[in-house]
Amino acid sequence: MAGGNESQGEIRAHLPAFGLAALTLGLLAGAAPASASPGSGWLRLAHLSPNTPAVDVYLYSFHNSNALIVVHHVAYGTISGYQKVPAGEYTVAMRAAGADASSAPVISATVNVAPGAAYTVAGMGPAKGLRLQVLHDRLTTPKGKALVRIIQASLRQHQVTVRAGHSVIARNVAFASVTGYKVVSPGTWNVSAAGRTEHTTSTITLVAGTIHTIVVLDDPGDIRLDDLVDAAGSKIAPAGGPATGFGGTARRPGNSDLPWAALVGAGLLLSFAGYRRTRRPVGAHALGGRGPSATA
C-alpha cells in the first residue's frame, strides 16, 4: 500500500492469526455450525502478553466440558480472525502450550456473546499478572468516519502516545490497557507510536465506515504496530433499496388471463363449428345419394 516502510513496521500480514482463524473455522464447522445469523455473535482470541510463553487456548460453550475449539501453541502477538458463534455464554481458558486438557487452566474468563455483537478475548498483562480481558468491539461508525482504538501490549515501552499525522489518537497509554474508540477522519495516515525511548510509524489507511484496533507490540529490539480491521462496511450507505428491475417479468395488475382464455375458447368453438360444417354436409351428401331422407 501507500509506500509504508517495511523495515519500520509496515502492517504485518496476520499469518499466525490467519492460521488460527482457519483452525477455528474448521473446528467450528464441525462442532457448532454457525446457526441462523440473527442469533449469533462474533468472537476473536488474542495473546497479547509479551513475556508469557505460547499457550493453548480453549473455548467452551457454557455447561459443556468438551471444548468447542482448541487452538494449540498461540504465541504473543497472535490475534485470530473473528468467528461467528451462536449467541450465549462461553468460557475461554488458557493453558501452557502442551499442557493436559484436563489440567487447571492458567487463566480463564467467561464471555456472554449477545446476538450481533463482537468481542475480543485477549490475554494481557505481564506473565506474572496475566489476565483475560473481554473487549466489547464496536460495529457501528458515525456517518463518513472511521473508528480507531489502541491496545498497548508493549512491555518495552510502558507508556506510548499514538498519533495519526499530527493529531493525537491516544496519549500516554499504559501497558496492558485499551483505549476507547476514537473518531478519525478517513484517509491514509502516518500513524506513529512513541514511547520514551523507541518509536515506530506505519502507514494506515482508514476508510470511512471501518473500525480499527491498532495494537502496539514488542518486536525483538523495537516496538511495532499491528493494524486490525475490527469491522468494515460501505464508505457511504446508499439511500434505500436499489432499482434493480424494470418489470419485464412482472405481472401487470390489469393483465388477467381472462382475455386469453376467451380467445382460446373462441378459437376452439370456431374450430369445432367449422369442423361440423365440413363433416355434416359430406355425410348428408353420402346419404342423400340414395334418398332425400338426409337432413341438412
Partner 1 sequence: MSLQAGQAAGARRRAFRKPPPRHRRPPKRRRLVQSAGLVAMGCGVLTTALGLGGWALTGQYTWFGQAGQRASSAHPGQAGAGRVGIRQPGSGGRRRHAGHVGHAVQIPVPLGLTAHAPGGASQRKVPAPVRLVIPAIGVNTRLTPLGITSNDTLQVPVSAAIAGWFTGGPRPGAVGAAIIAGHIDSYSGPGVFFRLRDLHRGQGIDVTRANGSVARFRIIAVRTYAKNRFPTAKVYGPVPDPELRLITCGGQFDYATGSYLSNVIVYAVLGPLASKRSGTPPR
Interface of this chain with partner 1, residues 252 to 271, rule: CB under 8 A:
252-253, 255, 257, 260-271
Dihedrals phi, psi of 138, to nearest 5 degrees: -70, 150
| Residue 143 in contact with partner 1, rule: CB under 8 A | no
Per-position b or e across 25-61, b if 16+ CB within 10 A of its CB: bebbeebbeeeeeeebbbbbbbbbbbebeebbbbbbb
Spell out where the chain has E strands: 40-48, 55-61, 67-74, 78-79, 83-86, 88-96, 107-113, 118-124, 131-137, 146-153, 159-164, 167-174, 177-178, 182-184, 187-194, 199-206, 210-219, 222-232
For partner 1, give the closer residue by CB, 60 or 82. 82
Residue 245 within binding range of partner 1, rule CB under 8 A: yes
Shortest distance, CB of residue 188 to partner 1, whole angstroms?
7
Please give the Cα distance from 151 to 173 (Å, whole number): 8
Closest distance to partner 1 from the beta carbon of 185 (Å):
13
Task: Say whether residue 235 binds partner 1 (CB under 8 A).
Answer: yes
Interface pick for partner 1 out of 23, 54, 99, 229 (rule CB under 8 A): 229
For residue 177 the three cell numbers come to: 490497557
Sole binder of partner 1 in the list 23, 31, 34, 97 (CB under 8 A): 34
Nearer to partner 1 by Cβ, of 29 and 183: the residue is 29
User: In this complex, which beta carbon is closest to partner 1, that of residue 93 or of residue 204?
Assistant: 204
E strands along 8-145, which residues? Answer: 40-48, 55-61, 67-74, 78-79, 83-86, 88-96, 107-113, 118-124, 131-137
3-state secondary structure of 222: strand
Residue of 89, 281, 283, 286 interacting with partner 1 (CB under 8 A): 281
Per-residue string for binding with partner 1, 44-83, x by CB under 8 A? x------------------------------------xxx
Q: Closest approach of Cβ 204 to partner 1, in Å?
A: 6
Which one, 101 or 269, has the nearer CB to partner 1? 269
- Could you say whether residue 226 binds partner 1 (CB under 8 A)? no
Per CB under 8 A, the list member of 64, 115, 275, 286 interacting with partner 1 is 275
- Listed residue (173, 229, 164) closest to 196, CA to CA: 173
Neighbours of 115 (CB within 10 A): 13
**Nearest alpha carbon to residue 131 among 155, 102, 109:** 109
* Residues binding partner 1: number (CB under 8 A): 87
Q: Indicate which single residue of 29, 101, 183, 286 sits in contact with partner 1 (rule: CB under 8 A).
A: 29
Q: Least distance from C-beta 48 to partner 1, angstroms?
A: 18
Q: Tell me which residues in 164-183 interact with partner 1 (CB under 8 A).
A: none
Side-chain-side CA neighbours of residue 40 (13 Å): 14
Grid cell 498497548 is found at: 152
The footprint of partner 1 on residues 199-218 (CB under 8 A) is: 204-207, 209-212
Interface of this chain with partner 1, residues 112 to 131, rule: CB under 8 A: 118
Q: Should residue 251 be labelled a site residue for partner 1 when binding is judged by CB under 8 A?
A: yes
Distance of alpha carbon 78 from alpha carbon 28, whole angstroms: 19
**230 binding partner 1? (CB under 8 A):** yes
